[in-house]
């Protein structure tokens, strides 16, 4: 409540004129002016705030989209880079679940004397004896031996049937033949402190026989396709790696591997 400056009567700010003397209430006019100014400022500020908020929302949504896209890109590239590991992991998991059926299949390969098939099967299904909670440990030496035999046989056959245009790969093949022969020898004649010594002693008979048969096959293949005498094939295992390779090169030369047919 205020007083009229002319007649001293009571006035309120909302009264533009004094109800007693009828003169204008200047403070009310100023009040109205001030209120309009504040209101205008308020509206301006409000629209500024809405505008800024809208812009910030737009920027925020863009940033969220960019973050999501970056995460997706990282996921896609990690999966691409690790696809083989993912595949191996799934195969190992599968091999863990299907132990009994896989071991049955492995026994069948053993019975059929299909050692190369056995190795390919173990590779395809990523059967490894080293994982925990599996019974494949008892096949460890057999898997190693069949793998060595398989790559020995494949390398030997590649050398035997090589075309003259591919002669450059012959030295590599001879090296492979030597390496894989040696791998099998290490299983059959392990050094005392080698882990294979104990494992070989504990092998079931049919597995021992299978590994011996693989050795026999390797010697037969060396005699047949590298012209070795039985004694040379027998002594082949006692040579060093370098000597084996040289010996194979000499024999391969005599057999004419890699030479063009004239």
Which of 26, 36, 43, 58 forms a contact with other proteins (CB under 8 A)? 58
Residue 246 sits in the site that holds other proteins (CB under 8 A): no
For residue 112, the tally of other CB atoms under 10 A from its CB is 10
Residue 45 sits in the site that holds other proteins (CB under 8 A): no
Residue 65 sits in the site that holds other proteins (CB under 8 A): yes
H or E element in which residue 63 lies: helix 26-81
Residue at token pair 């737009």: 58
- Of 194 and 216, nearer to other proteins (C-beta) is 216
Residue 37 sits in the site that holds other proteins (CB under 8 A): no
Here the tokens at position 219 are 């010697």
For the CB of residue 138, give the shortest distance to other proteins in the complex, in Å: 21
Residue 66 sits in the site that holds other proteins (CB under 8 A): yes
Beta-ladder partners of 10: 3
Alpha-carbon gap, residue 90 to 166, rounded angstroms: 37
Region 175-234 residues binding other proteins, contact defined as CB under 8 A: 217, 219-221, 223-225, 230
Which of 12, 83, 135, 241 forms a contact with other proteins (CB under 8 A)? 83
Which of 7, 76, 197, 212 forms a contact with other proteins (CB under 8 A)? 76
- Of 153 and 247, nearer to other proteins (C-beta) is 153
For residue 240, the tally of other CB atoms under 10 A from its CB is 10
User: Quick one: the chain helix, strand, coil %, rounded to 5?
Assistant: 75, 0, 25
Largest CA distance in the chain: 143
For the CB of residue 198, give the shortest distance to other proteins in the complex, in Å: 30
Cα–Cα separations (whole angstroms), residue 77 to 81, 86, 88: 6, 13, 18
Nearest to 148 by CA among 225, 210, 238, 194: 210
For the CB of residue 105, give the shortest distance to other proteins in the complex, in Å: 10
Alpha-carbon gap, residue 55 to 233, rounded angstroms: 84
Residue 124 sits in the site that holds other proteins (CB under 8 A): yes
- Of 59 and 197, nearer to other proteins (C-beta) is 59
Residues at the site binding other proteins, with contacts judged by CB under 8 A: 48, 55, 58-59, 62-63, 65-66, 69-70, 72-73, 76-77, 79-80, 83-84, 86-87, 116-117, 119-121, 123-125, 150, 154, 157-158, 160-161, 163, 217, 219-221, 223-225, 230
């Amino acid at each position: 409540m205020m007083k009229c400056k002319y007649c001293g009567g009571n006035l309120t700010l909302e009264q533009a004129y004094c109800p007693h003397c009828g003169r204008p209430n200047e403070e009310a006019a100023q009040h109205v002016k001030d209120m309009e100014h504040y209101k205008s400022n308020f509206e301006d500020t409000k629209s500024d705030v809405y505008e800024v908020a809208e812009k910030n929302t737009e920027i925020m949504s863009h940033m969220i989209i960019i973050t999501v896209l970056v995460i997706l890109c990282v996921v896609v590239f990690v999966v691409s880079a690790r696809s083989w590991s993912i595949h191996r992991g799934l195969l190992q998991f599968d091999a863990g679940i299907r132990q009994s059926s896989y071991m049955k299949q492995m026994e069948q390969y053993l019975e059929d004397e299909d050692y190369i098939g056995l190795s390919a099967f173990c590779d395809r299904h990523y059967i490894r004896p080293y994982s925990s909670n599996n019974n494949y440990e008892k096949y460890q030496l057999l898997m190693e031996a069949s793998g060595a035999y398989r790559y020995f046989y494949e390398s030997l056959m590649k050398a035997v049937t090589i075309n003259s245009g591919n002669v450059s790969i012959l030295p590599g093949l001879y090296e492979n033949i030597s390496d894989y022969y040696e791998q099998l020898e290490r299983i059959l004649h392990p050094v005392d402190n080698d882990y294979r010594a104990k494992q070989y002693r504990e092998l079931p008979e049919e597995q021992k026989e299978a590994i011996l048969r693989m050795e026999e096959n390797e010697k037969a293949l060396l005699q047949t396709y590298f012209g070795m005498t039985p004694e040379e094939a027998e002594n082949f295992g006692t040579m060093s790696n370098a000597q084996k390779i040289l010996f194979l090169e000499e024999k391969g030369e005599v057999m004419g591997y890699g030479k063009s047919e004239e």
